[in-house]
Structure 1
Amino acid sequence: MTTPDVSVVVAVYNTMPYLTRCLASLTAQTLGERRMEVVVVDDGSTDGSTAEIERFAQLHPGLFTVVRQPNSGGPASPSNRGLELACGRYVFFLGADDHLAPDALERMVAMADRYGSDVLLCKMAAIGERTVPTGVFKQTSPAIRLVGDGLPWALSNTKLFRREMVERNRIRYDEDMPAFSDQPFVMEACFRARRISVLADQDYYFAVRRADSSNITFRAGPETRLRCAAKLLETTTRFLEPGPLRTGFHRRHFHVELFQLFGAGFPALGPDVRERVVTGAARLIGTYGDGVLERLDERRRRTLELAWRGATEALCEEILSDPERTPRAAVAEEGFSLVRWLLAPVRGARGGRKGDRQPV
């Protein structure tokens, strides 16, 4: 068989009825079924997703590779499994709630081939109050910078990756990260890429907010989020020398992941949990905050400075007096509705992987 131009990896856990439109958008691609393959990894679904996947596989023989595995507790494991099975020149990760414009894959592959792109971003559109990045999609560009064109604010894995580059560097998802697991994957791919391109002349990727979704940031638990945020900062430190590039990515993580540790629900946490979160955040701020805190807006800087000083009570007062400090609307920034995995039973009550999940 000829090598497909692109392998689309779809990690699935209980995504009905949104899964139907997701898979239908793949069968409608103008690229054509002979030039693509779809690798669907069902991570132990229980809501009818399994039957829907099988229905599409029967209707389109040869297009779908279907794998079913016990629930892993997060999207990292099924994403890695799909990547291991992928055969295409490029690989694209599609959230099982989301869908693509009919010409998305054809246009992305054509642009990546034309410019030799190792990573290519396509313009995203939000459906149902979902939040998507906008700055990086102001215009189509054959090559963008790591920092300065909006890339640090667009770290979901919903991108086209040259598979040879991914395999040569053995880039994989960290299966010990139940939250944010695609960000280290995307960052490493971008750090190693020879060229990163953006296709932004129309909407290609439609990111859907589920009607019943909840924010992964809150459902994952503050200590889990803290641990995963530390891994994001470690990734940039591992690949980037001190300087503007590293600071640009650290500013993003301070602005988003660290600040979100101190949302409206923080004062209601148990005192021991609050102290552990503040202590852990203070360690990260002290380690990575040089040149970063002063680049934040006043509200975020004030919050993180209180955490850095270990002023837990003052921090709680700051949060309670802030009318804007309300739980964010449900947003799956990583390209998955991760809350479904986090609320699923942990795989293997006996002998499950350490670090899969921590109590919320």
Structure 2
Amino acid sequence: MQPDVSVVVPVYDTMPYLRACLASLLGQTIGHRRMEIVAVDDGSTDGGGRLLDQLAARYPDTVRVRHQANSGGPANPCNRGLELATGRYVFFVGSDDRLGPEALERLVTAADRYTSDVVAGRAVGVNSRHMFQEIFAESRVDVDLFDSALPWSLANIKLFRRDLVERHHLRFHEDMPILSDQPFTLEACYRARRVSVLADYDYYHAVRRLDARNITYRSRLEQRLRCVELLVDRVAELIPAGKQRDAVLRRHFGLEVAHLVGDDLPRLDDPTRERVYGVVRRLVDRYLTDDLRDGLDIETRLRLSAVAGGGLDDLLAVIGQDAERGVPPTVVAGNRWHAGYPGVGLPAWTDVTGVRADWLARLDAVAVGWEGNRSLTVTARSPQPDLGRLVGGPIRVRAGRIPGDTLDVTPDARGTLVRVRFPVDRLLAGSATTGQRHPLRVEVDGTDGRGTAALRAPGLTPARPRIRRHGTRLYAVTTSLDARTGHLVLAVVPVTAARLAARLRRGVAERDGRGGPAGVGRPGWAGRGGPAGVGRAPGRAVPSGPDSGVHRRWRRPRPGSRDARSSRPTGRHATTTRSSRRTRRASCWSARRSSRCGPGGRRWSTRSPRNATARSCCTVCTSPSTASARGPTTRPGAPASCCCTGWRSPGSWRSSATAG
């Protein structure tokens, strides 16, 4: 019997996420008889292929597996999966993502009921992965591609009628190692008789991998440049010039092309900047119409206008002002308004007269702070001293679709300050249970209509996260800066063991990168803050080594003693809590930190039962060395007692007298 739906899963090195993905598929309420899983192992090296074979042996009527050499991207395995699919519908699932239990049953039922060729179910992000939600504001039986937010949701995580796919021979472009799903999805929606959107259930859970090994995360710039060019060119090949093409290209210029001229462009070397500028200039000259430019965000519009009407130096001046100094002043010349970017003059591309409302909505966040644990307050500044008079209405700030409460709008010496409060309960209620990132945007009502702009935060130090309970789960509410755009983001993140472990690994790596733990292996080392300097009550570092002839463990000072009074913990590891002790132990296990030497041959070491290798990293001789059968090596002139090898069980820190 023909299955109702074939689920195509391209697989490459996604363990252990692959287990959760396959479990979500095998647990679908549609039942195994009505579905088939077509998994294409694209040369996995992490044991994922063996897991697929085990499931194929256990569920021979449901799971089909194909193994092949690595192809360099998901396009080829998706195409091979399409060749093997036999269902009436086909659905693509990333091997690190998962489905809601009722997803396939609901999608197939809707496609049959509405005779839809494409059905998009609401997708939510996991681990704060950002997913565009505008298209999922409500369920709609028939969505127009050119008059909706559908172009902003072109991932292939939709249900496609396989007859549509085969009739038009839709395939993924294998010359695109990234972004290959967008041309496929766009053409399917363009040729479909009906596209439906379901917003009544969390159908797809898109997981942001904490190890960031997904090919989309780690794509190289040259690869991205080529794929963005191909992406835009293929839109032009599919859709004739006009308003419909502009409606789709508005997404690509507003997202993929805009990222190419993001805040990180000035940090590239000169040849790379020239290469990026050349690609963007070609796309702008060929496809950026006046209607398309008018529909872009004010920031992107100015940067692409600098590309079209200026040169690379003008573009770098605009990016430098936005990223480092904030919104430039407004220069009024006659009855025209210009963006006053320093060093570029007043060329035509700086004219913002026709988009005054959007220009007035540009603010810079200058402070973020907490009012207890219940509210987060954002303070933003406009360079316009009379902003309140110019907008003629309320100034609103939203975190995604969550409105903030404007507290006050007050002029100051540098413009106008706007303070906005976001109640934490409102942020939690408006976020997905799997966590969600909310970019902040400013809205104003000007004389020429409503304006909106993203809230930038040049040089801002984000607020520390706060943990709050919502329902039965704990969430961290925090602020961050988008590294590519410089925009301020509010994030609601579920507190999970995996996230804590990832954060611990990053923290240990950052700490070791600064030269080792506090108080360990540094000039003037005195044992302050415990042997790792990580959240432990201070103990006394008893001198040991060849010059002392003693071997002593750490001991905690007696309450009221001189050591307890004088050795107060200080700095970022000053707090002594149960969680900080767990942090220290987890740090030992997860990072397996190399040991450090202190003056006089004192040695810090952690010895793990796993003891696969022994490494040394000596901060006395300031040169890393690797232990071998002959023992560690040191630089000439290093102390004879300098030795940093071995591992000790988690949490058992001590000062050792062993000589190197």
User: What range is the shorter-chain TM-score in?
Assistant: 0.7 to 0.9
TM-score scaled by structure 1?
A: 0.87
Distance in 1 separating the partners of 2:213 and 2:33:
38
Cα distance 1:235–1:150, how it changes in 2: closer, same or farther (>3 A)? same
Give the equivalent residue in structure 1 for 2:96.
97
Name the amino acid aligned to 1:314: D
Pair 1:261–1:218, CA change in 2 (3 A)? farther
- 1:42 aligns to what? 41
Greater fraction helix = 1
**3-state SS in 2 of match to 1:120:** strand
The whole-number CA distance in structure 2 between the counterparts of 1:98 and 1:318 is 38
Instruction: Tell me the CA shift for residue 265 of structure 1.
Output: 2.8
C-alpha distance 217-258 of structure 1, shift in aligned 2 (>3 A): farther
Moved more, 260-269 or 284-293: 260-269
Out of 94-103 and 56-65, give the one that drifted further.
56-65
Q: Name the residue aligned to 1:258.
A: 257
AA aligned to 1:165 is: L
Shift of 1:141: 1.3
Does the aligned pair in 2 maintain the 1:15–1:97 contact within 8 Å?
yes
Match of 1:219, SS? Answer: coil
1:327 alignment counterpart: 484
Query: Which blocks of at least 5 consecutive residues in structure 1 are unaligned?
Result: 330-360
> 1:316, CA displacement in angstroms?
2.6
Instruction: Please tell me whether the aligned partners of residues 6 and 90 of structure 1 are also in contact (alpha carbons under 8 angstroms).
Output: yes
Distance 1:39 1:218, change over 3 A: closer
- Offset from partner CA, 1:272-319 (integer Å, 9 cap, x none): 221121111111011110121121111111111222345223323333
- Checking the alignment, whether the CA contact within 8 Å between 1:101 and 1:205 is kept in structure 2 is yes
Is the contact made by 2:75 and 2:172 (CA closer than 8 Å) also made in structure 1? yes
**Does residue 273 of the first structure (1) align with residue 430 of the second (2)?**
no
Query: Whose strand fraction is larger, Structure 1's or Structure 2's?
Result: 2
CA deviations 1:140-188 (Å, max 9, x no partner) are 1111000222100000000000001100111100000011100000011
1:65 and 2:64 equivalent? Answer: yes
The answer (yes or no) to whether the contact 2:73–2:215 under 8 Å persists in 1 is: no
Residue type matched to 1:327 in 2? R
In 2, Cα distance between the equivalents of 1:139 and 1:195?
A: 16
**Contact 2:27-2:101 at 8 Å conserved across structures:** yes
* Residues 189 and 38 of structure 1, relative CA distance in 2, 3 Å threshold: same
Measured at CA, do residues 216 and 23 of structure 1 come closer, stay the same or move farther in structure 2, by a change above 3 Å?
A: closer
**Residue aligning to 2:299:** 299
Contact 1:12 1:45 in 2 (8 A): yes
SS in 2 for 1:24: helix
Q: Which aligned segments of 4 or more residues in structure 1 are displaced greater than 6 angstroms?
A: none
Pairwise CA distance, 1:49: 1.1
Cα separation, 2, equivalents of 1:104 and 1:133 = 19
Give the Å deviation of 1:325. 6.7
How much is the aligned-residue C-alpha RMSD, in angstroms?
1.8
Question: Residues 283 and 308 of structure 1 are in contact (CA less than 8 Å); yes or no, is this contact kept in structure 2?
Answer: no
Output the amino acid matched with 1:295: G
Q: Please say if residues 212 and 218 of structure 2, whose CA atoms lie closer than 8 Å, have aligned partners that are also in contact.
A: no
1:19 Cα deviation after fit: 0.5
Structure 1 residue 232: Cα displacement? 2.0
Q: C-alpha separation between the residues in 1 aligned to 2:217 and 2:198?
A: 32
Structure 2 unaligned residues grouped into runs of 5+: 324-457, 459-480, 487-660
- Determine the C-alpha separation between the residues in 2 that align with 1:59 and 1:215: 28
User: Equivalent residue of 1:129, what SS?
Assistant: coil
Q: Please state how far the C-alpha of 1:328 moved relative to its aligned partner.
A: 6.7
Residue 326 (structure 1) shift: 2.1
Alignment of 1:1-360 (within 5 A): 2-213=1-212, 219-290=218-289, 291-309=291-309, 311-321=311-321, 322=323, 323=458, 326-327=483-484
**Alpha carbons of structure 1 residues 37 and 215: separation in structure 2 relative to 1, 3 Å:** closer
The CA distance in 2 between the partners of 1:328 and 1:61, in whole Å, is 48
Report Cα offsets for 1:93-115 as digits up to 9, x if no partner.
00111111111101100110111
* Segment of structure 1 superposing worse, 315-324 or 23-32: 315-324
Q: Distance in 1 between matches of 2:103 and 2:136?
A: 15
- TM-score normalized by the length of structure 2: 0.48
In 2, distance between residues paired with 1:215 and 1:48?
Answer: 16
How far the C-alpha of 1:227 sits from its partner, in A, is 2.0
One-letter amino acid of the structure 2 residue matched with residue 99 of structure 1? R
Q: Please name the residue that 1:351 is paired with.
A: none
* Higher RCO, Cα 8 Å, sep 6+: 1
Bigger shift: residues 213-222 or 67-76: 213-222
Alpha-carbon spacing, 1:325–1:50, altered in 2? closer, same or farther (3 Å): closer
Q: Indicate the larger mover: 149-158 or 269-278.
A: 269-278
Decide whether aligned partners of structure 1 residues 121 and 45 sit closer, same or farther in structure 2, where only a CA change above 3 A counts. same
Task: Write out per-residue CA displacement over residues 321-355 of structure 1, whole angstroms, 9 at most, x where no aligned residue.
Answer: 313672379xxxxxxxxxxxxxxxxxxxxxxxxxx
**Identity of counterpart residues, as a percentage?**
48
SS of match in other structure, 1:96: coil
Q: Are the aligned partners of 1:217 and 1:225 in contact in 2 as well (CA < 8 Å)?
A: no
The offset of 1:36, in angstroms, is 0.7
Code of the residue aligned with 2:74 in structure 1: it is P
* 1:222 shift after superposition: 2.8
Q: Out of 34-43 and 46-55, give the one that drifted further.
A: 46-55
- Distance, in Å, in 2 between the alignment partners of 1:230 and 1:308 is 17
User: Is 1:281–1:308's contact at 8 Å kept on the other side of the alignment?
Assistant: no
SS in 1 for 2:46: coil
Distance 1:255 1:66 in 2: 39
Distance 2:252 2:228 in 1: 7
**Cα offset, 1:268, TM superposition:** 2.5
Separation in 2, partners of 1:231, 1:127: 29
Contact 1:278 1:310 in 2 (8 A): no
Change (3 A) 1:173 1:10: same
Task: Report SS of the residue matched to 2:318.
Answer: helix
Q: Which protein has the larger Cα radius of gyration, Structure 1 or Structure 2?
A: 2
